[in-house]
Chain A
Amino acid sequence: MSGDCRSARGGGDLQRSQPLRFEFDGRSYQGLQGDTLASALLANGVHLIGRSFKYHRPRGIMAAGPEDPNALVTIRRDAARSTPNLNATQVELYDGLVAYSQNRWPSLRFDTARINDLLSRFIPSGFYYKTFMWPRKAWHSLYEPRIRAAAGLGVASTEADPDLYAQCYGHCELLIVGAGPAGIAAALTAAASGARVMLCDEQALPGGSLRTGTSARIGGQDAADWLRESVQKLTAAPNVTLLTRTTAFGYLPHNMVALSERLSDHLATPPPGKPRERLWQVCARQVILATGAIERPLVFPGNDRPGVMLAGAARSFLNRYGVLPGARVVVLTAHDDAYQTAIDLKAAGVQIAALADMRTDPAGPHVEAARSAGIAVRTGTTAVGTRGNLRVTAVGLAGLDSNGAVAGAADWVKCDALLMSGGYTPSVHLHSQARGKLRWDEATHAFVPGAAAAGCRSVGACNGLIGAELVRVFEQATAAAADALRECGIHDQPGAIAISKELAVSEDRGASGGWIGALPQPAGAKAGKAFVDWQNDVTAADLKLAVREGFRSIEHIKRYTTTGMATDQGKTSNLNALAIAAQQLGRAIPEVGLTTFRLPYLPVGFGGLAGYARGDFFAPVRKTPMYDWAADRGAVFEPVAMWQRARYFPERGEDMHQAVARECAAVRRSCGLFDASTLGKIEVAGPDAIEFMNRMYVNNWSSLAVGRCRYGILLRDDGFVYDDGVVARLSDDRLHVTTTTGGAPRVLGMMEDYLQTEWPHLKVWLTSTTEQWAVIAVQGPQARAVLEPLVEQADLSAAALPHMAMTRGLVCGVPAMIFRVSFTGELGYEINVPADYGAEVWRAIWASGQAHGMCTYGTEAMHVLRAEKGYIIVGQDTDGTMTPDDAGVSWAVGKNKPEFVGMVSLRKPALQDPRRKQLVGLLTVDPAHVLEEGSQIAAEPGQRPPMRLIGHVTSSYYSSVLGRSIALAVVSAGRSRLGQTLYVPTAHGESTVTVTQPVFYDPKGERLNA
């Protein structure tokens, strides 16, 4: 059944002088410029395009637009540019295009999984909930992978996407979605006003239903000529942006509409360096939806064979692409529109074997036109089945009695195409996404837009004007455009086009009719599968089964049967599914209601959504002034918040543990150099700075002298530790507050919140100074000796600058703040210099340190060194449910304070419970065993699950200086358990530990105060 099916008639989208070669499943074919892959395949007589999702039934092309549920293909340019699940009706043909069918093995014509169709009574909807349950283990290892492999879509490339994707914003007074007759009329109206207008259409060429073929004349000329002139007018207008190949896929709050513009998928050679797609985020004052309507298929047995097609689609294929769907066709309809298809096809030389109308007494201009064209109309006729394997060969037509029941035997009519129409369903997707309401219209059997979201209007077929005369569409569209402009304050609209003149319509025929739900079938007949959702292989029987099994809500029926849940989101199936469910439930359609419309309207590639945000542009990377120095020395970095921090500095093939052991030993023995620039820094300044800090932090800041530092703790109002850091008093009215690296933005945000909204009368100014200062930590017994030669105008002696004091001076001639602070337990300084001098001062300190055996250390050694001293890390040793007392730092909480954040919560009995988890140290009996962080802790040995667990390990390292492992943990009533033996269950048996104080090294702090 192959060969040339190209007609000399129609083909309005084609450039017939430009042949193109393309490949489908390895075979070479010829198409024409202007073809879609679908039309080109049909022109070559290829109707078998794919295999269905579940039953692997042969499938062909059903629709001409993106609503087609069957013809999913993979388009492959190269290994990285292989795009699965594209709709053949949307793929524009280019020379050299290579396409593959999907979900078949070994080949499309012979697919072994076709056996699923014969086994279908064992795999009804929801079968995976009912069968394959035993043995339980086999679900993950055997059943699920097999079921998933058999139920298939295409395979995405595993290589990185090499293409570029652009993103941009659009701003306009009026966005019009859909460039059919309604959208164009609205755009012409708005264009004349001078307002900024954007008009987008998913097709390569604007025109919508006008391209499908109409008898109407507009403004005294052929519809095609009017369309060409109108598009020229809009393209020339400087205030109009016309976007084709652009799908409006999401309607977001405040009239932001997301558009996906395909820029180069239709080109044989996409221009290098240019984007493949552009994602528009259009902020429109007003939106007009002119998205048209989608033709409904009819639900009867065997309605899915290749060659069964929507009647409107067949007319599109003829009039747009000059393609004949077959040589001898049967038209089955419940709507006038299909008559035009029969008339056009007959004029193109196709034999109309039958035009069957389900209605008993169809009348009107369409019926008359068909009869006068010599087409025999069988009224009151339905279909009871089809025959054929890889293509339909016959359809069984049967008469309906006055009650609408099948009467008499089927008359099997030979055909090679069956064209069906159940009428049209308005495309209310975007209206609904915008949270507009829907209204059931009994006259047209359709859900149509009711109350719309602010600034959103629907016009034309998507607003329920199904089959209406074009003049009514124009009236609605031009009025909506004028209203929308007035909403934008544009009242004066000279030069607007006139319905009576430019948009005058003649020789138009309104169409009506329609059918929803399954077609009547002979009683007791063993009918074949009547498909409702082609893409997910859901039949009318599946829906009835769901209702019989007790599902009542349409949302549940949808999920159970998966109807409407495929990539087409039920564009052709939802209303039929709803009608069948409603009938089975014995309720009216509007009572049952529709399922929710969600974005995207059509699938959008991940590349377009990611846009520029990939690779180096995925997220900002923050680097300290000393980053390059560390990178040059081969530092291994780790991300901390957005910072890249040096984790360790391996030498001569060291692994991390060797490097960390060496770095820790150097700090304890002589001196270490550490980049602490990422520390968050907030300057709190103003006459009320101390008062503000008294209210924010738990500490008492009034007693902090100028030039002194204090360890500060910030709680949330729930009483739990939020952040910590050293705070220095720079002057009477100025504090230098440091925060954790990751906490800086949220601490500043929290301070601003309380300052602006709780205590706005306090005279305080908060400034983030994190990036103004480079912070160089010099830690170890030799720290003073290393620094002294470089420092002027400051005294580093223990007497002048004791632990937790700060001073100003010059370091290498650079003005510096020098803090005597330590996160290692050693004599230590943190030198703050303006960030631009950071690298230079760092190099000078490094040079000075060489004579003292100085070593650079990274965050990993820093973690070990602080754990040896029992210094907590907020977020590691605390988890957002720990009070200062739990963390063992209740000494920091100021006494007799009237107020601080979290103070009230700390009074709660639950937060004072002595059984709360408290920070302790753990020493393993086996000194070589390093516990896993996160391990659970038990009081009794040898428990079996479920165990009684009393805490967990928060930090655990091997300490070189102690020659053994150490751990910090939080344990229920931990401080009352000092000396107790506890048990840590691990994957390799139980580890026995002893509870200790959390300070393992130099508990008296002699080294700190040296």
Chain B
Amino acid sequence: MLIIPCPYCGPRPELEFSYGGQAHVTRPTAASNPSPAEWNAFQYERANLKGLHAERWRHIHGCARFFNVVRDTTTDEILRSYRSGEK
């Protein structure tokens, strides 16, 4: 079981969290009139990488906040976590 460091609450067991997919995917606004390619990239294209992966988690059974985690997908090691909007 992963021990996930919530940037608001500290390290907590994975059971308290829900997974939120790849982080830093920019959502085009409707007003920007994104091209089909741009919109498809936002909707469907994910890195699925082997190695360091920035991903979103939500401390759903805690502070309920979304935040980001950098995890090595080959070892599950979590290198750091940070708040949404931060890099």
Contacts and interface: CB of A to CB of B under 8 A. Distances in A.
B56 A757 contact: yes
A908 B65 contact: no
A758 interface: yes
B2 interface: yes
Contacts of A454: 75, 77
B51 interface: no
Contacts, number: 56
B78 to A, nearest CB: 8
Contact of A749 (B1, B36, B58): B58
B52 to A, nearest CB: 15
Nearest to A255: B3
B13 A283 contact: yes
B76 interface: yes
Given A283-B3, A905-B39, A905-B43, A753 B20 contact: yes
Nearest to B74: A435
B84 A435 contact: no
A760 B85 CA distance: 9
A453 interface: yes
A523 to B, nearest CB: 48
B1 A252 contact: yes
A252 B65 CA distance: 26
Nearest to B34: A904
Contacts of A252: 1
Interface residues on A, range: 20 to 34
Contacts of A23: none
Interface residues on B, range: 20 to 34
B41 interface: no
A48 B31 CA distance: 80
B64 A253 contact: no
Interface string B1-37: 1110000000001000010100000011111001010
Contacts of B18: 749
A904 B76 contact: no
A534 B30 CA distance: 65
Contacts of B36: 908
A62 to B, nearest CB: 36
Given A749-B60, A899-B29, A757 B1 contact: no
B66 interface: yes
B66 A756 contact: yes
Interface string B41-52: 011000000000
Contact of A283 (B1, B27, B58): B1
Interface string A749-773: 1001100111010000000000000
Nearest to A752: B64
Contacts of A254: 1-3, 76
Nearest to B76: A253
Interface in A653-688: none
Chain B CB count within 10 A is highest, among A252, A253, A283, A435, for A253
Interface in B51-87: 56, 58, 60, 64-66, 74-77, 84-85
A889 B29 CA distance: 24
B31 A899 contact: yes
Contacts of A899: 29-31
Chain A CB count within 10 A is highest, among B60, B66, B85, for B66
A182 B82 CA distance: 41
A885 to B, nearest CB: 17
A454 B72 CA distance: 12
Contacts of A253: 1-2, 76
A717 B38 CA distance: 13
Contacts of B30: 898-900, 903-904
A758 B27 contact: yes
Contact of B75 (A453, A753, A758): A453
Contacts of A691: none
Nearest to A899: B30
Interface in A883-937: 898-900, 903-905, 908
A562 interface: no
A699 interface: no
Contacts of A453: 75
Contacts of B65: 756
Contacts of B39: 904-905
A718 interface: yes
Chain B CB count within 10 A is highest, among A254, A283, A758, for A254
A254 B39 CA distance: 37
A76 to B, nearest CB: 36
B31 A760 contact: no
A758 B65 CA distance: 13
Contacts of B1: 252-254, 256, 281, 283
B58 A435 contact: no
A718 B75 contact: no
B32 to A, nearest CB: 9
Contacts of A749: 18, 58, 60
Contacts of B27: 717, 758
B51 to A, nearest CB: 14
Nearest to A754: B27
Given A253-B1, A717-B27, A905-B39, A753 B66 contact: yes
B43 A718 contact: yes
A905 B44 CA distance: 12
B28 A904 contact: yes
Contacts of A758: 27
Given A254-B3, A749-B18, A898 B31 contact: yes
Contacts of B13: 283
A754 B56 CA distance: 13
A753 B64 CA distance: 10
A154 to B, nearest CB: 32
Nearest to B60: A749
B70 to A, nearest CB: 15
Contacts of A281: 1
B35 to A, nearest CB: 10
A753 B56 CA distance: 10
A407 to B, nearest CB: 51
26 contacts: A252-B1, A253-B2, A253-B76, A254-B76, A256-B1, A283-B13, A435-B76, A453-B75, A717-B42, A749-B18, A752-B58, A753-B20, A756-B84, A757-B56, A757-B66, A757-B84, A757-B85, A758-B27, A760-B84, A760-B85, A898-B30, A899-B29, A899-B31, A903-B30, A904-B39, A905-B43
Given A283-B3, A756-B84, A905-B39, 7 more contacts: A281-B1, A454-B77, A718-B43, A760-B85, A899-B30, A904-B30, A908-B36
The 7 A-B residue pairs with the shortest CB-CB distance in the complex, in nearest-first order: A253-B76, A256-B1, A903-B30, A899-B30, A756-B66, A254-B3, A757-B84
